[in-house]
Structure 1
Amino acid sequence: MASNTKPGENILWGGRFTGTCNTLYSLFIIAALTPFMVAYNESIHFDKKLYKQDILEDEFNKIEKGLQAVMKEWDNDSFVIVPGVDEDIHTANERRLGEIIGKDVAGKLHTGRSRNEQVACDMLAADRAESEVDHVMPGYTHLQRAQPIQRLREVVKRVNKSALGCGVLAGNPFNIDRDMMAAELGFEGLLWNSMGGVADRDFVAETLQWASMLMQHVSRWAEDLIIYSTAEFGFVRLADAYSTAWRLRGKSGRVFGQMAGFMMTLKGLPSTYNKDLQESWEAMLDTVKTVSDSMQIATGVLATLAIKPEKMQAALDPFMLATDIADYLVRKGVPFCETHHISGRVVALSEQTDTPMNELTYDQLKSVDARFEKDIAESFDYERSVEMRSAKGGTSKECVLEQIKVLRQILNA
């Protein structure tokens, strides 16, 4: 839709420039309105994604109809952004609303609220693990996806508080019902201090911090796959469609950078609202998109990769059972402080005689320590070794299935 509004007219801070100005101040005004400065100051090109959040806060009849018309323009991509006028999503919506229903009515849009507070407002892994629970590989670690999910829920519960009604910074003079608005919009409470409310971006900072933690897990998981898919290991093979999944590891750096950059923006700001806070949207929207895209890629990688159990089995080494020898001795009553020393001597004997540890004779083992009995042979069994780790969170089949059950409960909660 076309607009007759000129750059600089009705600009958010344009009222400040009316009346008599000295020459230096006039030069500042001209500089501020140059295309570069206007473009640099605008946030409309990234926070336009928040158009629904900005519009749906108002439900008065005439304004609501006008806002729905504006939203329809956003939806069908016919909304025309006016450079120099539409500084951000809020001014863009209000400007267009005024063109549709008239400025007198549209001007009431912000009665009872301020633009500052608006800104402050806005199971595949388990299945795969279960189907392949019988396979053993050396050094395998299970990605506990439940932990990042639990952290996200904690973040949402902590930061889902409403700033609506805080006014510009000192509160609202129209006796509006903040509790009602918060409940209607799905918030779980209020930001009680108005000065803190308009300045609050903890919800952005914590979201970025959570995303960084999640992407750290994803990056390490991707690194495992990178290693395990190399010719040296060959434990897994990625589908051709996801052969470039290594980008997951690289994308984590992007998310870390957004979080660190925004924290640097926050650290030097004085109390209440500052325009620097508009930096929050670009960081958060980019991070949300990056994380969302990354999780889709990770899901695709996990769904389509092929494991090679025979390669995993071939990579198992008897030396990995050295701790099982120590555990065996502990069960025979040998003090724990001695068992690892004895186990080390068995490893040394294996190396000296060039005999795999599981092929040492009973007499050879007795020569290391007389407390070995013939049932020591049972300790040289990879499957048994895994099954012995039967405490909650361990690697036995029962424990893994229990972890899968817990994970599904968390995902379905």
Structure 2
Amino acid sequence: MAKLWGGRFTKETNKLVEEFTASIEFDQQLALEDIKGSLAHVQMLAECEIISLEEADTIKNGLETLKKKIENEELEYAVEHEDIHMNIEKHLIDEIGTVGGKLHTGRSRNDQVATDMHLYLKTKTTEIIQLVEQVQHSILVQSKANVDTILPGYTHLQRAQPISFAHHLMAYFWMFERDKERLVDSLKRVNVLPLGAGALAGTTFSINRERVAEILEFDSIYPNSMDAVSDRDFILEFLSIASIMMTHISRLSEEMVIWSSQEFGFIELDDSFCTGSSIMPQKKNPDVPELLRAKTGRTYGNLMGLLTVLKGLPLAYNKDMQEDKEGMFDTVKTLDGSLKLLAPMIETMTVNTGAMRKAVTEDYSNATDLADYLVTKGLPFREAHAIIGQIVLHAIQQKKYLLDLNLEVYQEFSPLFEEDIYEVLAPENVVAARNSTGGTGQTQVKKQIELAETKLKSVEKV
């Protein structure tokens, strides 16, 4: 079958080359975007009197027919037509005749595919922002229910200081808030129209690129035609943001895996997000958070893959750039699925407050408060630190915790200790004492939650 571009060639394309270079297997995901861009393009061509109104109407009707077939999954794609653009153009010509060939006036597949990807990421970025907000909502639900739930906070995975479980969860809310802000900001770069740049140098036709941007609701157009067809920064930025977000998802997933282990027992994931063992009947495996951790590698790989593809490319378009799509599609799919699972998994998990309470009373994570106590009595912090270190060592040797030691023992190390140290050491008071802005004290955590709710509501209004 003759290619739509085959006039200059004397031989048919080698079948292996045809299969190797074709992108239709994956870029058919851009079918609706391709139709949308073409409808705007043909409208502009008619308004600029480059084609007649009658021709434009015929082409529009043909494109609308193909759009319905795409939506109903009735359109068939052929490898010999290489990509989504040529497949649609071939179907259009079959549908309305040779006038369909006028659709490609004043454009190239180079600016066409770039436009399709801009349109695709505009939609997907907006959808992902909404999914991030669902995760944030789930975090808020659990946080509001666990302001007074206390567990050990960790550094180096060693118990450090008692904290509110809500405070711990809210750390992830703010991570996702930054992810969301990055996505919102990236839309500035996504919302730039490349169509009308042609293959690389523009076109001889008197087109109106600004009009196409208006129809497609783009904020601006690329001012340089070569940059327009070769720019993939907007995809790199999306892949970078997605990789950072998957890092956050992975960190939270790791904690869920640890917390749900028998050794910790801080939470229990809902049965609907776990699986069993084919041999060990007692097992309840946290497969979902484990897979979320693993899928982070896919997003990293997709980012590194495209960076590598682009790093040495001369201007303008090169066939190498066909490799920009599969990683983008895969990352969108990975992020979409991960966020859709993460939100309900967080909201439905059971918090074992008893296990958390037991953990925070059977450690030395209140030691810093003893040091602060001595500081309030006038002792320099470094001296106080040394004294408390000796007390902790003594308690460990006696197989006791700080709350178990008698006042006489404390006073052997420093006469500054008084009966009120037991109030200072109580986990609730340890947490409440950290009332500095952004701290884990219950008052501050409640303020933090209020701020977070305000942010989500302001987004909903927009």
Does TM, scored on the shorter chain, surpass 0.5?
A: yes
Listed as ranges, the matches of 1:183-198 within 5 Å are 183-198=214-229
Contact 1:392 1:399 in 2 (8 A): yes
Match of 2:21 among 41, 58, 82: 41
Match of 1:65 among 61, 65, 88: 61
Measured against aligned partners, the alpha-carbon deviations of 1:157-198 in whole angstroms (never above 9, x if no partner) come to: 234221122121112332323233223323222222211110
Match of 1:338 among 377, 383, 386: 383
Measured against aligned partners, the alpha-carbon deviations of 1:219-262 in whole angstroms (never above 9, x if no partner) come to: 11111011111111111111222112121111111111111111
The change in CA–CA distance for 1:61 and 1:336 in structure 2 (over 3 A counts) is: farther
- Bigger relative contact order (CA 8 A; separation at least 6): 2
Tell me the C-alpha RMSD between the 2 structures.
1.9
The change in CA–CA distance for 1:370 and 1:183 in structure 2 (over 3 A counts) is: farther
Match of 1:400 among 420, 445, 457: 445
Q: Partners of 1:382 and 1:15 in 2: how far apart?
A: 81
Aligned partner of 1:369 in structure 2 is 414
Match of 2:36 among 56, 72, 77: 56
Aligned partner of 2:296 in structure 1 is 252
TM-fit CA distance, 1:271: 1.2
1:133 equivalent in alignment to 2:152: no
TM-score by length of 2: 0.80
Aligned partner of 2:242 in structure 1 is 211
The change in CA–CA distance for 1:157 and 1:353 in structure 2 (over 3 A counts) is: same
TM-fit CA distance, 1:289: 0.7
Counterpart residue identity of residue 49, structure 1: Q
Aligned partner of 1:113 in structure 2 is 107
Counterpart residue identity of residue 130, structure 1: K
Q: Partners of 2:438 and 2:330 in 1: how far apart?
A: 35
Q: Partners of 1:15 and 1:329 in 2: how far apart?
A: 89
Deviation larger for 41-50 or 385-394: 385-394
Contact 2:438 2:448 in 1 (8 A): yes
Identity %, equivalent residues: 38
Match of 2:95 among 96, 100, 105: 100
TM-fit CA distance, 1:308: 0.9
Number of aligned positions between the proteins: 391
Match of 2:395 among 350, 354, 369: 350
Q: Secondary structure at the match of 1:364?
A: helix
Q: Secondary structure at the match of 2:263?
A: coil
Listed as ranges, the matches of 1:219-368 within 5 Å are 219-243=250-274, 244-245=287-288, 246-316=290-360, 317-368=362-413
Q: Secondary structure at the match of 1:320?
A: coil
Query: Could you list the runs of 5+ residues in structure 1 that have no partner in the other structure?
Result: 1-5, 19-28
Q: Partners of 1:198 and 1:280 in 2: how far apart?
A: 13
The change in CA–CA distance for 1:327 and 1:189 in structure 2 (over 3 A counts) is: farther
Q: Secondary structure at the match of 2:386?
A: helix
The change in CA–CA distance for 1:351 and 1:276 in structure 2 (over 3 A counts) is: same
Contact 1:318 1:358 in 2 (8 A): no
Query: Could you list the runs of 5+ residues in structure 2 that have no partner in the other structure?
Result: 44-55, 118-136, 154-164, 275-286
1:15 equivalent in alignment to 2:7: yes
TM-fit CA distance, 1:343: 2.0
Contact 1:39 1:83 in 2 (8 A): yes
The change in CA–CA distance for 1:328 and 1:84 in structure 2 (over 3 A counts) is: same
Deviation larger for 168-177 or 239-248: 168-177
Contact 1:238 1:306 in 2 (8 A): yes
Q: Secondary structure at the match of 2:200?
A: coil
Counterpart residue identity of residue 89, structure 1: I
Q: Partners of 1:333 and 1:64 in 2: how far apart?
A: 83
TM-fit CA distance, 1:318: 4.1
Contact 2:369 2:424 in 1 (8 A): yes
Q: Secondary structure at the match of 2:197?
A: coil
TM-score by length of 1: 0.89
TM-fit CA distance, 1:402: 2.6
